């Protein structure tokens, strides 16, 4: 009886080992077949299905991984994207120029500042009441203007008058305050006016010409967009010299602006630098 039982147990163990081996082989075969299907896809007739040859419908310049892309298509899309971006930037800048109203001067140096939206409706309150030169600038004497140049140093808060390469005068000035910074670049004097009259842009009150006028005794304009103006002018408040308090204009003491008025001509270059 003991021998019969031992033989039965041995047979059971043998069948279990044999079954385990067969199951292991089946699992291995299944895994191998699955990997081959992923690594080496086979298409009927040797052709790739049409739905796998369609272009990726992502954004400009994007190509789906493994998708069919014609030669130079990615490069073309990227260039087109850059071109569109540049056009958009240009349009945006132009809109700022038209609505901002600040620093749209036809300057030799194009690096200009622009007014923020909150400043667009009350730009430069320091300008003469009437400026017929806005549409018809006064004629300049190019020969006389070429001999003189005004250099404005915003950080130094001074205006320097050059006769050729020699400094012949230097004046303290007040410059544009934060948010209303004086534009930088190269400009030319467009208009010169004795005793400018000023009207308050909010109240409408007209201030007569003279030493007590907010514009002082002289106006020397070097920039205009046809509506807003920036220039040198006098002020009765001499304590503001050296400060950033204006809306873009360059304020001077009345005696100084009178001297500057005699030293420059229409067409004289005004170089404004940081």
Pairing assessment for the beta strands 218-224 and 198-199 based on DSSP bridges: unpaired
Mean per-residue pLDDT of the chain: 71
Instruction: Assign 146 a pLDDT band (cuts: 50, 70, 90).
Output: low
Q: Are 253 and 269 in contact (CB under 8 A)?
A: no
Residues 8-58 pLDDT 10s: 777 887 888 888 888 888 877 777 776 665 554 444 444 544 444 444 344
CB proximity list for 30: less than 8 A, separation 6 or greater? none
Identify the weakest region by mean pLDDT among 191-205, 209-223, 227-241: 191-205
Judge whether 107 and 185 are in contact, CB under 8 Å: yes
Residues 229, 182: contact at Cβ < 8 Å?
A: no
Q: What pLDDT does residue 252 have?
A: 98
Indicate the pLDDT class of residue 152, thresholds 50, 70 and 90. Answer: very high
Runs of H (alpha helix) within 40-189: 73-100, 142-146
> What positions carry a catalytic annotation?
233, 249
Convert the pLDDT of each residue in 94-145 to its tens digit: 333 323 333 333 333 333 343 333 343 344 556 666 544 344 455 555 555 6
Q: How far apart are CA 266 and CA 53, in angstroms?
A: 69
DSSP-derived 3-state class of residue 186? strand
User: Given CA atoms 112, 113, 115, 116 in this order, what sign does their dihedral have?
Assistant: positive
CATH class, range 117-273:
mainly beta
3-state secondary structure of 44: helix
pLDDT tens figures, 45-67: 445 444 444 443 443 333 333 33
Return the pLDDT at 232: 98
Please tell me the predicted confidence (pLDDT) of residue 27: 79
User: Distance of CA 196 to CAs 83, 90, 130, 155, Å?
Assistant: 48, 37, 8, 28
pLDDT digits (tens, 9 = 90+) for 249-265: 999 999 999 999 999 99
Percent of the chain with pLDDT over 90: 39
């Amino acid at each position: 009886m003991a021998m019969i039982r031992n033989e039965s147990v041995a047979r059971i163990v043998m069948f279990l080992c044999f079954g385990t081996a067969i199951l292991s082989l089946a699992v291995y075969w299944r895994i191998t077949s699955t990997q081959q299907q992923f690594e080496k896809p086979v298409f009927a007739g040797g052709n790739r299905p049409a739905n796998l040859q369609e272009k990726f419908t992502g954004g400009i310049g994007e190509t789906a991984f493994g998708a069919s892309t014609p030669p130079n298509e990615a490069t073309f899309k990227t260039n087109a994207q850059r071109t569109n971006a540049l056009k958009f930037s240009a349009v945006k800048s132009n809109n700022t120029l038209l609505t901002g109203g600040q620093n749209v001067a036809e300057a030799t140096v194009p690096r200009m500042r622009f007014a923020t939206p909150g400043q667009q409706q009350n730009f430069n309150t320091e300008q003469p009441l009437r400026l017929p030169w806005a549409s018809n600038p006064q004629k300049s004497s190019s020969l006389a203007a070429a001999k003189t140049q005004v250099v404005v140093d915003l950080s130094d808060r001074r205006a320097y008058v050059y006769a050729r390469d020699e400094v012949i005068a230097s004046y303290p000035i007040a410059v544009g305050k934060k948010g209303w910074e004086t534009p930088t670049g190269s400009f030319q004097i467009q208009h010169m006016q004795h005793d400018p009259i000023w009207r308050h842009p909010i109240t409408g009150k007209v201030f007569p010409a003279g030493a007590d006028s907010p514009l002082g005794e002289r106006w020397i304009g070097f920039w205009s967009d046809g509506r807003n103006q920036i220039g040198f002018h006098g002020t009765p408040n001499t304590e503001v010299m050296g400060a950033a308090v204006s809306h873009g204009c360059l304020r001077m003491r009345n005696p100084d602006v009178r001297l500057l008025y005699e030293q420059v001509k229409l067409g004289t270059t005004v170089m404004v630098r940081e």
